[in-house]
Amino acid sequence: MRWKWLACALALLPLASCAEAPRFDYYLLALSVAPAFCEDEPQRKRKFAQCRALSQPAFQSLPLTLHGLWPNRSDRRHPAYCRGETKAAFCRLPALRMPAETRVRLGRVMPGSADCLDRYQWAKHGSCSGLSEADYFAVSAALTERVNRALGPEIARHMGREVSLAVLREALAKADLALKDAVTFDCQTPRTPTPAKRRPMLREVRVYFERSPATGAPGRPLSYTQAGHRHYNSGCPGGKAYVDTPLD
């Protein structure tokens, strides 16, 4: 009988180890500015449901959309594909399991889920968090909503024009002080056939969070310097960012 018990225990051991999250140090919440995302290679992006559905009311109501919530390591050796998933077209990845209310909430903050971005983010990043699919996307949605409450109105107000990063940081300080030093701003010049659009645009807002030692979920906001970054400005000339508009 003893050998049978040992065989069962050895058979279960790989399953237990697969359920354990790999070591990582903090979370990075990546939020997209949709018009700038869709302006990059517009011929290709036009195939995306999230870009076809982009409108001024949608952008103004939620200027920052969820790209992903990534478990990261300080040594930059970030974990990925932790449950043995293979790279595949997004919509060929397994469907996700979550309550209907979480799916509705996720669909609002992550328009890319119409293109199966949620499946890809789970396979590559969420699978490394140690959280369930439902918990991972519930907290991703909640954090996206939090940052939009603090920063969204100021970004929407500057649609179609430049805004100083100092003004955006001031908005964070007034609305949610804990986020101010946890946020970095990423500007990129889109690859577009339209010459007037070839200018550095606010492409992503990135927010750092501690990993809760108790739950493994995102905890308090983490300073970008503690995440290994020297400055909150990534590629925005003169400390200013152009906020692209979905109107053109």
Dump pLDDT digits (tens) for 51-83. Answer: 999 999 999 999 999 999 999 999 999 999 998
pLDDT of 8 = 36
Q: pLDDT tens digit string along 163-209?
A: 999 999 999 999 999 999 999 999 999 999 889 889 999 999 999 99
The Cα 31–Cα 64 span in angstroms is: 6
d(CA 38, CA 15): 40
d(CA 57, CA 54): 9
User: For residue 213, is it left (φ>0), alpha (ψ between -120 and 50) or beta?
Assistant: alpha
Q: How far is CA 15 from CA 6, 12, 69, 208, in A?
A: 15, 5, 24, 31
Residue 20's pLDDT is 65
Cβ atoms of 244 and 201 within 8 Å: the answer is yes
Question: Phi and psi for 3 in degrees, rounded to 5?
Answer: -65, -30
Strand bridging mode 201-211 / 218-221: antiparallel
Q: Is the pLDDT of residue 5 over 80?
A: no
Pairing of strands 233-234, 183-188: parallel
8, containing H or E segment: helix 2-19
Q: Return the closest-CA partner of residue 58 out of 102, 96, 142, 114.
A: 114
What does the pLDDT average to over 16-28? 73
- 148 close to 62: Cβ distance less than 8 angstroms: yes
Picking from 67, 74, 71, 91, the residue whose alpha carbon sits closest to that of residue 83 is 71
What domains can you pick out in the chain, each with its CATH number?
A: 22-242 (3.90.730.10)
Mean pLDDT of 41-54: 88
Per-residue pLDDT of 206-246, as tens digits, reads 999 999 999 999 999 999 999 999 999 999 999 999 999 98
Q: Nearest Cα to 48, choosing from 118, 107, 115, 120?
A: 115
